[in-house]
A and B are shown apart, each in its own frame.
Chain A
Amino acid sequence: MEIERVKGKIMEGQPGFPRQYGPSRSDHQPGIPFFPQETARDFVLIFLLTALLFFLSAFVTPFLGPARSPQISELIVPDWYLLFSWGLLKVADVFPQFVIGAGTPLKTDFNAAFWGDLLSGIPVIFLLILPFIDRGREARPAKSPVRSAFGVAFLLAWIFTASLYSIREVVAQRWQTPNGSPLINDTAMKWFFVIPPVLVGLTSYIGLRRLGYQPMRKWLFPYVAGLTAIVVVQAAGIFLIPGWLGPEVRPYVIQLGIFLLVLIVPMLVASVAVFALPESQARKWVVRSGVAAFVVFGALVVFFMDSGRPNHVAFTWVLSVLYPNMNTLVLMPMFAVLTAYLGVRRPYSTYEYLLNECYQCGKCHTVCPVTKVEDDALGGLNLVYNTFKKQHDGVPLWTCLACDACSAVCPLDIQYSDYILEERAKVHARMAADGGGKE
C-alpha cells in the first residue's frame, strides 16, 4: 500500500530512464530519430533546392565554351574535386567486360564506361545509405572504430589514390629512369587502389580502438610482423632471385641495399618492440626508430641528389627499383611504424565526449550519497560536469560507490558508472602497462 502511494516516484517506463548499461549500450538514442522526422525535413529542403536549380538552368544559361579535346590540349582533366571520378573511369578497364542478354530488349553492356560509372557512384552511394545501415548510438568517429576506419580508408585514401591515378600520364612523364621509361608503371599505380586504403583502414582501426582503451597487442603484432615479413621477403627476392633486378641496376646494388636497410630496420625494431617490450618501452623504441629512419632517409636523399652526377644517377636507378614496388617497399614500412606507435600509445579520454553532454542541472548532486558525507562536497556542485573538468567534487574516482543513483536521475542519460568503469580500467591498465605497479 505504501508502494502504491509513492508510485509516482518510480522512474521506470519514463523517458530518459536507461534500459541498458555498459559500453555497448544500443538502445534509447537521445535526440530526434533520423528516419521519419529528419528525412521529411531534409526532403523538403532537397526538393526546394532542386526546383531552384531547375529554374536557374532553364532561365539563366551559363556560357560553357567549346568542349576539350585531345586536339586542343594534350592532357584532359576535370576540376580537382572530380579527379577521383576521372581516375575511376580510367581504371575501369581492369574489370571484365561482357554483354548480358545480347539481342533482347534487356541487353546490358558491362563495358568500361559502366564500371567507371558504378565505381564513381560508390562513395556517393555509401554516404547516402550510411544513416540507414548505421543505427548505432555513437555518432562520433572516435567511438566507432570500424565505421571510421572504413571512412578513412575509402572516403579519403581511396579517393586520393583515384585522383592520383587520373593524372597517371603526368606522373609517368615527370618521373623517369635515366633510360627514359616511367619510374612508376601502370600496374603499381593500379595497385594503389587496393593496398594504401587497406593499410590506412587497418591503421585507423587499431589507432581508434587504442583510443578507446583496448589493448591492441593482439592486433598489432600480426599486422606489424606481417608487413615486415612481406617487405623482408621482397627485399630478399630483389637481391637473391636473378631475374628481379634489371641489368642496368646491377651496379648500384650497394646503394639499393642501404636504402632497403633504412626501410627495413625500423620495421624490425617495431615488431620486436611490439612483441616483447612493455608498452611504455615499446612506444619509445618505435618512435625512436621511426624518427631515426625518417631522418636517415632524408639525409640519404639529399646526399645522393646533391653530390654530382654519378650519385644522382645511382639514386635514380635505386628509385627505379623502389618506385614500382612503392605499395610494399615504401608504404609498408611507413604504416608498420605508424601503426606500432598508434597501437601502443597512451590513449586519452574518449569519455570527454560523453560527459560533454552534461548541462549541469545538478540532479546528480541531489541524489549522490557520497556528496552527503564528504566534507568539501556539501556545497552543491555538479557531479558529472565537475568530474569531467577535473574539479574535485567530493566524488573522485575511487570514492564513487558506483551506485548509479546519478545515472538514474540524469535527464541526459549520462552513464556515470560507465565513466567510472572506464577510468578505473584506465588507471589499472596504465599501472599494468608500466610493468606491474603497486600491487
Chain B
Amino acid sequence: MATAPTVAPKPPSAPPSPSADPLVAYYQRVRQMNLALAKERYKQGFKVRTQEYIRGRGTLAIVDEEICMGCTHCFDNCAFEAIDMVDRKFALPEYTYTSRKAIIIEDNCVGCEKCAIVCPVDAITMVTKHGFEVKDGRVVSTTAPPPAPRPAAPAAATPRPATPPPAARPAPSPPTPAKPAAPPERTETPSPEAPPPKPEPEEEEAEEAEESTEESETPEEDEG
C-alpha cells in the first residue's frame, strides 16, 4: 500500500511455512499443494509429449509458417541459438500489426526437439536431415555405415572429452547394429533417390486413409 506502482509481489513468498493463524496455514498449505499438484500432473502429460518426436543427430526442426504465431517460446528455450525471430507485417483496413515468426538456423540445430515440445501450437515438427531416415522409430543414416568416423558431425559434437555420451547418443546408428543393416540399405537407397523428409511415421497416414474410405463408404450405406 505504501507505494502503489510497485508491482513486484511482496516477498512473503520466501518463508511459506511459519504462520500462527491456523487458517492462514491452511491457505498456504492448500496453495502450495495445488501448485505442486499442477506441476506433478503436468509432468505426466509432458512425459507423453516427449515421446512424440524423433530426436538426435540426424534430425532437424522445421517451423510451419502458417501456424507459428511468434510467441518466442522456442526462441527462449533453444540452447544452441538455432532459432531466430523474423517480423511479418499484417496490414488490415483498420490497423496494422506485426507478428513474429520463428525460423530455424539449420547450422546450429542439433535436433534436440526442445522447441517442438514447448511450442504451444504444434508449429514445429522434427524431420530427418538429408542422408538420414527413420527406421523402427530410430534415426539411422542411409549413407555409409559410420563405424568409427565420428567427425561427421563436428558442429554438434561439443562435449568432446566425454567419449561415452557421443557413443550412446547416436545410438540409432551404432557400429554393431548398423553393419548388418547396411548392405540391404544400400541396395534400397538408389530407387528413392532423394527421400523427402517424412516427419510422421506411416501410422498417421494409414489412419487418415482409413478414415477417408470410411467417410466415402457410409453415406451410400445410409441410403440403402
Contact = CB atoms under 8 A, between A and B. Distances in A.
Establish whether A and B are touching in the complex (CB under 8 Å): yes
Interface of A: 280, 283-284, 287, 291, 345-346, 372-373, 378, 434
Nearest to A434: B214
A372 B94 contact: yes
Given A287-B221, A287-B224, A280 B214 contact: yes
A291 B93 contact: no
Interface in B56-104: 90, 92-94
Interface in B166-224: 211, 214, 218, 221-222, 224
A283 B214 contact: no
Contact of B92 (A280, A284, A373): A373
Contacts of B222: 283, 345-346
Interface of B: 90, 92-94, 211, 214, 218, 221-222, 224
21 contacts: A280-B214, A280-B218, A283-B218, A283-B221, A283-B222, A284-B218, A284-B221, A287-B221, A287-B224, A291-B224, A345-B222, A346-B218, A346-B222, A372-B92, A372-B94, A373-B90, A373-B92, A378-B92, A378-B93, A434-B211, A434-B214
SS of A interface (majority):
helix
Nearest to B93: A378
A164 B94 CA distance: 71
Contacts of A287: 221, 224
A434 B90 CA distance: 40
Interchain residue pairs A-B with the least CB separation, the first 7? A284-B221, A280-B218, A373-B92, A434-B214, A372-B94, A378-B93, A287-B221
A385 to B, nearest CB: 22
A173 to B, nearest CB: 39
Nearest to A374: B92
A280 B218 CA distance: 8
A378 B221 CA distance: 41
Contacts of B224: 287, 291
B159 to A, nearest CB: 38
A345 B214 CA distance: 14
A372 B224 CA distance: 45
Contacts of A283: 218, 221-222
B156 to A, nearest CB: 33
Contacts of B214: 280, 434
Contacts of A284: 218, 221
A425 B182 CA distance: 50
A370 to B, nearest CB: 12
A280 B214 CA distance: 9
Given A280-B214, A372-B94, A378-B92, 15 more contacts: A280-B218, A283-B218, A283-B221, A283-B222, A284-B218, A287-B221, A291-B224, A345-B222, A346-B218, A346-B222, A373-B90, A373-B92, A378-B93, A434-B211, A434-B214
B120 to A, nearest CB: 16
Contacts of B93: 378
